[in-house]
């Protein structure tokens, strides 16, 4: 007996080895992204789109009006008068079985007369009609059981079975039917598949073996087997992904040189005083929320622990991530190291530097802001002070990643709004730790459902701040789709400004270019000054302004010298002005749910009642409207995230970050069953890697993971 097939084995065989795949079809398949037999077998039928042709009947038992298959013998053939080539005249065939006879008519298929000669046995599948008192099928699907080969058709039986429907591609010139034929041959020739999952796991997870699953998903014998087959293969997909992520994590820990920071959870509870962390927490003008306390306890344990922290802190807008991050940075500082806080934009870096200094109050901790704006002598001095350790905490943008930035001892790195940073950038910053790998805390306000986070950030530990500080007001959100209603928004802006508060106007997203966006913001600002907001002090903020001008605009806004700030999405993250009580988002239909939620987070940051107005229509297909309605309805970031996932599908969610090996073909994170499978996959992956970090006892698994990973990553994961 041949040894069972591995996926790698199948990946090494081009589709052209199949007899049913001609050179031309092989080329078309390749265009479509299917080069190997594995690619072919991983082209799965569409979910819930199988065609059931298993209903079998005897001729006398056929019900008029329903489709069924009958096995019958050809009794007589008439092809519309001898050698008639007229296609309009049908070929009529009388067939019979033990129970009776039936007429079968074929239009436009003159060759049927030759195929179905007297005595041929065939299966006829079609809808039964009544023609002048006789049962009749018109143009049924035919499978010859005994007799001549069917000319012009593939080898695949099309009746008395359940036919899968493949995502056929008209562009590549491939039909679902052809793909089915190729897959069938591939499956036949593949034989048994090697199952990399230990039998006991299969049993405990109630999963089918791979061979049965592959066969059943492509060629189910009954509709009942499709679900378990899909379930097994969905598990495979999720499991490979989770295993890769868990391995990545272990490799990271294995290769790490951890700094063990001198900080303890007792400093959070107040049981210990006098340390920098406890003084900082004790000096805050507010109590930490329970969620903040819990998150900080976990982080502090990481800091003191034997592995470098590698953690994602996820918390809705306004949940108070900065305080948590700062306490963690101070944990590193009190241990004699330095901390860095990296953010995606200069505006945000400036904001954070202000916020951090404010929070630190009278504590003697030197904080510096390093952006491209810091130049010449000042920059040189700052770099020297960083390298000598005089600066304890540095806040900055990507500029922190440049070569010239050196630390005396970088012990802790916080990256805010991680979605803008790549994995490599994280690694670069980490590599700046001379004495050991700095602990890493990644913060994001982008609410991602936990399961999706497991896919996207699966190599990070996850901590969630699921609580807002008390006293926060709800931001009243109104979607105003009709231009005639927009005055409601502007009236509110005027009333708030009159009450001494401030307003944001967010300009539409235009094009991809920052310059175009800046120009349109400038125009909009001029228009509003002359129109709806005449008489108010209106300022402008966009990403193309010089950093000094930008900082000045923000400062004036904070002081109230600017009452209305017309801005592009540069204000999306982090801007913290408690007096800002109203926001108007223009052409809100162009923004995604997450972005609108972020933007809205800029108001309602104090105890003052706040408003957010969304201008713009619902769009042709109404999807934009659904988004706007969702944002109007709730301010709960997690509810919005689920809604976003539902509206967009996880494809887009993962799209930007995911590479080929993590593509989800079968799994759907909006499906609760699949989400459950995902957590199971994670659990199993953890268990396997814990017992066998290099997968030495699981060579088949190791091989399969490597097959789905890039070569570099494979090497990284498996070198010890
Ligand atoms: P985000 O999670 O959006 O980054 P921030 O850290 O910017 O939130 O916090 C938002 C605001 O709430 C800040 O002004 C911060 O000082 C304040 N804040 C943080 N934690 C608390 C708390 N426990 N109680 C009251 N206010 C808090
Ligand atoms: Mg923040």
Q: In terms of pLDDT, which residue wins out, 246 or 619? A: 246
Instruction: Encode pLDDT of 686-700 as tens digits.
Output: 999 999 988 999 999
Expressed in angstroms and rounded, the spacing between residue 533 Cα and the centre of ligand 2 is 30
The atom number, within ligand 1, closest to the CA of 321 reads: 2
Expressed in angstroms and rounded, the spacing between residue 289 Cα and the centre of ligand 1 is 10
Whether the predicted pLDDT of 151 surpasses 60: no
The average confidence (pLDDT) of the chain is: 85
Q: Bridge partners of 73? A: 96, 121
Whether the predicted pLDDT of 529 surpasses 90: yes
Dig out the tokens for 535 from the structure. Answer: 């008489």
Expressed in angstroms and rounded, the spacing between residue 376 Cα and the centre of ligand 2 is 30
CA-nearest residue, atom 17 of ligand 1: 320
Pick the ligand that lies closest to the CA of residue 348: 2
Q: In terms of pLDDT, which residue wins out, 432 or 314? A: 314
Expressed in angstroms and rounded, the spacing between residue 655 Cα and the centre of ligand 1 is 31
Q: What value does the mean pLDDT take over residues 330-338?
A: 95
**Residues above pLDDT 90, as percent of the chain:** 45
Q: H or E segment at 564?
A: strand 564-567
- In angstroms, rounded to a whole number, what is the distance separating the alpha carbons of residues 333 and 259? 12
Residue 150's pLDDT is 39
Pick the ligand that lies closest to the CA of residue 574: 2
CA-nearest residue, atom 13 of ligand 1: 320
Pick the ligand that lies closest to the CA of residue 322: 1
Expressed in angstroms and rounded, the spacing between residue 339 Cα and the centre of ligand 1 is 20
Please state which architecture CATH assigns to domain 475-634.
3-Layer(aba) Sandwich (3.40)
CA-nearest residue, atom 9 of ligand 1: 320
Pick the ligand that lies closest to the CA of residue 318: 1
Whether the predicted pLDDT of 11 surpasses 90: yes
Expressed in angstroms and rounded, the spacing between residue 323 Cα and the centre of ligand 1 is 7
Most confidently modeled range among 331-345, 490-504, 545-559? 490-504
Whether the predicted pLDDT of 718 surpasses 70: no
The atom number, within ligand 1, closest to the CA of 605 reads: 11
**Residue among 663, 629, 659, 656 nearest 644 (CA):** 629
Side-chain half-sphere exposure of 355, counting CA atoms within 13 A? 20
For strand 100-106 and strand 91-97, is the pairing parallel, antiparallel, or unpaired? antiparallel
Question: Binning pLDDT at 50, 70 and 90, where does residue 661 land?
Answer: very low
Domain pair 263-305+320-444 / 475-634, same fold: yes
The number of residues making up the chain comes to 720
CA-nearest residue, atom 19 of ligand 1: 320
Most confidently modeled range among 55-59, 96-100, 272-276, 279-283? 279-283
Pick the ligand that lies closest to the CA of residue 416: 2
Expressed in angstroms and rounded, the spacing between residue 324 Cα and the centre of ligand 1 is 9
The atom number, within ligand 1, closest to the CA of 315 reads: 2
Residue 14's pLDDT is 96
Q: In terms of pLDDT, which residue wins out, 713 or 144? A: 144
Asked if residue 605 lies in contact with residue 577, where contact means CB atoms within 8 angstroms, the answer is: yes
SS (H, E, C) 687-710: HHHHHCCCCCCCHHHHHHHHHHCC
Asked if residue 678 lies in contact with residue 451, where contact means CB atoms within 8 angstroms, the answer is: yes
The atom number, within ligand 1, closest to the CA of 578 reads: 14
Most confidently modeled range among 363-377, 493-507, 683-697? 493-507
Asked if residue 442 lies in contact with residue 420, where contact means CB atoms within 8 angstroms, the answer is: no
- In angstroms, rounded to a whole number, what is the distance separating the alpha carbons of residues 79 and 85? 9
Dig out the tokens for 518 from the structure. Answer: 């800046």
What 3-state DSSP class applies to 690? helix
The atom number, within ligand 1, closest to the CA of 287 reads: 23
CA-nearest residue, atom 10 of ligand 1: 318
**Residues above pLDDT 70, as percent of the chain:** 88
* 699-708 and 226-254 helices, crossing angle to 10°: 90
CATH number at 263-305+320-444: 3.40.50.300
Residue 228's pLDDT is 96
Side-chain half-sphere exposure of 6, counting CA atoms within 13 A? 14
Most confidently modeled range among 129-138, 247-256, 286-295? 286-295
**Residue among 301, 289, 197 nearest 242 (CA):** 197
Neighbours of 251 (CB within 10 A): 19
Q: H or E segment at 478?
A: strand 475-480
Poorest-confidence range of 137-151, 332-346, 373-387, 527-541? Answer: 137-151
Asked if residue 162 lies in contact with residue 50, where contact means CB atoms within 8 angstroms, the answer is: yes
What 3-state DSSP class applies to 611? strand
Whether the predicted pLDDT of 526 surpasses 80: yes
Whether the predicted pLDDT of 275 surpasses 60: yes
Dig out the tokens for 97 from the structure. Answer: 């079985």
Q: Which of 284, 291, 292, 323 should be mutated for ligand 1, with most atoms under 8 A from CB? A: 323
Q: Which of 280, 322, 395 should be mutated for ligand 1, with most atoms under 8 A from CB? A: 322
Around ion ligand 2, residues with a beta carbon closer than 5 Å are 574
The atom number, within ligand 1, closest to the CA of 601 reads: 3
* Torsion (CA) 594, 599, 600, 603 in degrees, nearest 10: 150
Q: What value does the mean pLDDT take over residues 323-346?
A: 93
Poorest-confidence range of 148-157, 205-214, 628-637? Answer: 148-157
Q: What value does the mean pLDDT take over residues 133-148?
A: 79
Expressed in angstroms and rounded, the spacing between residue 342 Cα and the centre of ligand 2 is 12
- Domain limits of the chain? 1-44+179-194, 50-165, 263-305+320-444, 475-634
Question: Binning pLDDT at 50, 70 and 90, where does residue 713 land?
Answer: low
Asked if residue 53 lies in contact with residue 161, where contact means CB atoms within 8 angstroms, the answer is: yes
Poorest-confidence range of 263-267, 517-521, 533-537? Answer: 517-521
Residue 162's pLDDT is 86
Angle at 512 between CA 510 and CA 516, to 5 degrees: 55
Instruction: Encode pLDDT of 441-478 as tens digits.
Output: 988 877 666 667 777 677 788 898 988 888 777 899 99
Asked if residue 351 lies in contact with residue 357, where contact means CB atoms within 8 angstroms, the answer is: no
Write phi, then psi, for 405 (nearest 5 degrees): -85, 115
- CATH homologous superfamily for 50-165? Nucleic acid-binding proteins (2.40.50.140)
* Torsion (CA) 90, 96, 99, 104 in degrees, nearest 10: -10
SS (H, E, C) 373-430: CCCHHHHHHHHHHHHHCCCCEEEECHHHHCCCCCCCCEEEEEEECHHHCCHHHHHHHH
Q: Classify the C-alpha dihedral 560-581-318-511 as positive or negative.
A: negative
Q: What value does the mean pLDDT take over residues 8-29?
A: 94
Residue 48's pLDDT is 78
Write phi, then psi, for 340 (nearest 5 degrees): -130, 140
Q: Which of 287, 320, 414 should be mutated for ligand 1, with most atoms under 8 A from CB? A: 320
Expressed in angstroms and rounded, the spacing between residue 576 Cα and the centre of ligand 1 is 9
The atom number, within ligand 1, closest to the CA of 319 reads: 2
Q: H or E segment at 551?
A: helix 547-559
Residue 199's pLDDT is 87
> Which residues, including other chains, have CB under 8 Å from residue 145's CB and lie 6 or more apart?
71, 121, 122, 123
Q: Which of 318, 358, 446 should be mutated for ligand 1, with most atoms under 8 A from CB? A: 318
Residue 148's pLDDT is 43
**Residue among 298, 657, 646 nearest 449 (CA):** 646
Q: What value does the mean pLDDT take over residues 296-300?
A: 96
Residue 350's pLDDT is 82
Q: What value does the mean pLDDT take over residues 418-435?
A: 67
- In angstroms, rounded to a whole number, what is the distance separating the alpha carbons of residues 209 and 190? 15
Burial class (CB in 10 A: 0-12, 13-18, 19+), 415: buried
> Which residues, including other chains, have CB under 8 Å from residue 691's CB and lie 6 or more apart?
697
Q: What value does the mean pLDDT take over residues 105-124?
A: 86
Expressed in angstroms and rounded, the spacing between residue 397 Cα and the centre of ligand 2 is 14
Pick the ligand that lies closest to the CA of residue 344: 2
CA-nearest residue, atom 12 of ligand 1: 320
Q: What value does the mean pLDDT take over residues 119-147?
A: 84
Q: In terms of pLDDT, which residue wins out, 384 or 545? A: 384
- In angstroms, rounded to a whole number, what is the distance separating the alpha carbons of residues 381 and 390? 11
- In angstroms, rounded to a whole number, what is the distance separating the alpha carbons of residues 75 and 121? 10
Q: What value does the mean pLDDT take over residues 16-23?
A: 94
- In angstroms, rounded to a whole number, what is the distance separating the alpha carbons of residues 669 and 464? 19
CA-nearest residue, atom 24 of ligand 1: 469
Expressed in angstroms and rounded, the spacing between residue 576 Cα and the centre of ligand 2 is 8
What 3-state DSSP class applies to 254? helix
Most confidently modeled range among 78-92, 317-331, 466-480, 625-639? 317-331
CA-nearest residue, atom 26 of ligand 1: 469
Dig out the tokens for 306 from the structure. Answer: 């034997």
Residue 399's pLDDT is 81
Q: Enumerate residues lining ligand 1, CB below 6 A.
A: 286-289, 292, 315, 317-323, 445, 469, 576, 605
Asked if residue 41 lies in contact with residue 190, where contact means CB atoms within 8 angstroms, the answer is: yes
Expressed in angstroms and rounded, the spacing between residue 573 Cα and the centre of ligand 2 is 7
Question: Binning pLDDT at 50, 70 and 90, where does residue 716 land?
Answer: low
- In angstroms, rounded to a whole number, what is the distance separating the alpha carbons of residues 203 and 209? 9
Expressed in angstroms and rounded, the spacing between residue 367 Cα and the centre of ligand 1 is 19
Expressed in angstroms and rounded, the spacing between residue 321 Cα and the centre of ligand 1 is 7
Q: H or E segment at 190?
A: helix 176-190
CA-nearest residue, atom 4 of ligand 1: 321
Whether the predicted pLDDT of 568 surpasses 80: yes
Q: In terms of pLDDT, which residue wins out, 359 or 513? A: 359
Angle at 700 between CA 699 and CA 701, to 5 degrees: 90
Instruction: Encode pLDDT of 169-223 as tens digits.
Output: 666 778 788 889 999 999 999 999 999 998 888 999 999 999 999 999 999 999 9
What 3-state DSSP class applies to 554? helix
In the DSSP assignment, the letter for residue 437 is: B
Q: In terms of pLDDT, which residue wins out, 273 or 339? A: 339
Beta strands in 79-165 (DSSP E): 91-97, 100-106, 121-131, 134-138, 141-146, 162-163
Sheet with 439-444, edge to edge strand ranges: 367-370, 393-396, 338-342, 410-416, 439-444, 310-315, 461-465
Asked if residue 446 lies in contact with residue 419, where contact means CB atoms within 8 angstroms, the answer is: yes
Q: Which of 292, 469, 577 should be mutated for ligand 1, with most atoms under 8 A from CB? A: 469
- In angstroms, rounded to a whole number, what is the distance separating the alpha carbons of residues 549 and 540? 10
Poorest-confidence range of 336-350, 430-444, 451-465? Answer: 451-465
Expressed in angstroms and rounded, the spacing between residue 248 Cα and the centre of ligand 1 is 33
């Amino acid at each position: 007996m041949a040894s069972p097939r591995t996926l790698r084995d199948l990946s090494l065989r081009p589709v052209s080895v199949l007899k049913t795949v001609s050179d031309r079809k092989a080329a078309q398949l390749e265009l479509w992204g299917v080069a190997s037999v594995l690619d072919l077998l991983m082209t799965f039928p569409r979910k819930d789109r199988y065609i059931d042709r298993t209903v079998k009947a005897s001729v006398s038992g056929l019900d008029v009006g329903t489709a069924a298959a009958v096995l019958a013998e050809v009794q007589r053939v008439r092809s519309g008068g001898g050698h008639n080539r007229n296609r309009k005249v049908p070929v009529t065939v009388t067939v019979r079985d033990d129970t009776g006879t039936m007429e079968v008519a074929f239009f436009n298929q003159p060759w049927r007369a030759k195929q179905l000669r007297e005595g041929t046995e065939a299966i006829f599948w079609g809808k039964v009609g009544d023609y002048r008192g006789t049962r009749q099928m018109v143009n049924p699907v035919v499978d010859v059981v005994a007799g001549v080969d069917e000319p012009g058709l593939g080898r695949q039986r099309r009746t008395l079975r359940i036919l899968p429907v493949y995502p056929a591609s008209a562009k590549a010139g491939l039909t679902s039917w052809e793909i089915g034929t190729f897959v069938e041959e591939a499956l036949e020739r593949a034989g048994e598949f090697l199952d990399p999952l230990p039998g006991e796991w299969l049993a405990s997870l109630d999963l089918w073996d791979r061979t049965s699953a592959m066969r059943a998903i492509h060629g189910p014998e009954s509709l009942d087997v499709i679900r378990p087959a899909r379930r097994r293969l969905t598990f495979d997909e999720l499991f490979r992904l989770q295993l890769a992520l868990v391995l990545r994590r272990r490799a990271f820990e294995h290769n790490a040189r951890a700094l063990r920071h001198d900080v303890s959870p007792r400093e959070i509870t107040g049981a210990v005083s006098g340390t920098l962390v406890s003084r900082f927490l004790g000096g805050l003008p507010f109590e930490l929320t329970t969620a903040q306390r819990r998150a900080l306890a976990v982080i502090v344990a990481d800091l003191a622990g034997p592995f470098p922290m590698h953690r994602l802190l996820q918390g809705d807008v306004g949940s108070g991530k900065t305080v948590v991050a700062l306490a963690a940075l101070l944990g590193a500082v009190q241990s004699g190291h330095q901390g860095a806080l990296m953010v995606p934009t200069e505006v945000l870096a400036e904001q954070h530097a202000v916020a951090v200094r404010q929070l630190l109050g009278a504590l003697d901790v030197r904080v510096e802001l390093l952006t491209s704006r810091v130049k010449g002598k000042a920059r040189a001095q700052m770099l020297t002070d960083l390298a000598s350790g005089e600066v304890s905490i540095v806040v900055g943008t990507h500029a922190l990643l440049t070569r010239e930035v050196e630390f005396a001892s970088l012990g802790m790195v916080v990256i805010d709004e991680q979605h803008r940073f790549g994995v490599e950038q994280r690694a670069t910053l980490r590599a700046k730790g001379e004495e050991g790998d700095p602990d890493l805390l990644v913060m994001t306000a982008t609410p991602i459902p936990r399961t999706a986070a497991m896919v996207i950030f699966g190599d990070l530990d996850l901590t969630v701040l699921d609580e807002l500080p008390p006293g926060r007001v709800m931001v009243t959100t109104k979607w105003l789709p009709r231009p005639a209603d927009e005055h409601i928004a502007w009236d509110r802006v005027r009333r708030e400004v009159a009450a001494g508060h401030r307003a944001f106007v967010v300009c539409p997203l235009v094009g991809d270019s920052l310059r175009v966006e800046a120009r349109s913001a400038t125009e909009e600002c001029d228009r509003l000054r002359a129109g709806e907001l005449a008489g108010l002090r209106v300022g402008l903020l966009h990403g193309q302004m010089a950093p000094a001008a930008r900082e000045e605009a923000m400062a004036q806004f904070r002081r109230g010298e600017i009452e209305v700030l017309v801005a592009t999405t540069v204000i999306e993250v982090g801007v913290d002005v408690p007096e800002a009580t109203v926001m108007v988002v223009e052409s809100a239909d162009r923004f995604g749910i997450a972005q609108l939620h972020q933007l809205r987070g800029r108001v309602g940051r104090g105890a003052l009642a706040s408003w957010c107005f969304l201008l713009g229509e619902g769009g042709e297909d109404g999807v934009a409207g659904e988004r706007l309605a969702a944002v109007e309805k709730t301010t709960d970031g997690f509810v919005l995230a689920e809604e976003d996932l539902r509206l967009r599908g996880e494809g887009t969610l993962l799209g930007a970050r995911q590479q080929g090996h993590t593509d989800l073909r079968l799994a759907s994170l909006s499906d609760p069953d699949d989400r459950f499978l995902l957590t199971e996959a994670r659990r199993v992956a953890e268990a396997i890697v814990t017992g066998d970090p290099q997968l030495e006892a699981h060579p088949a698994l190791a091989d399969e993971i490597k097959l789905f990973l890039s070569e570099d990553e494979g090497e990284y994961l498996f070198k010890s």
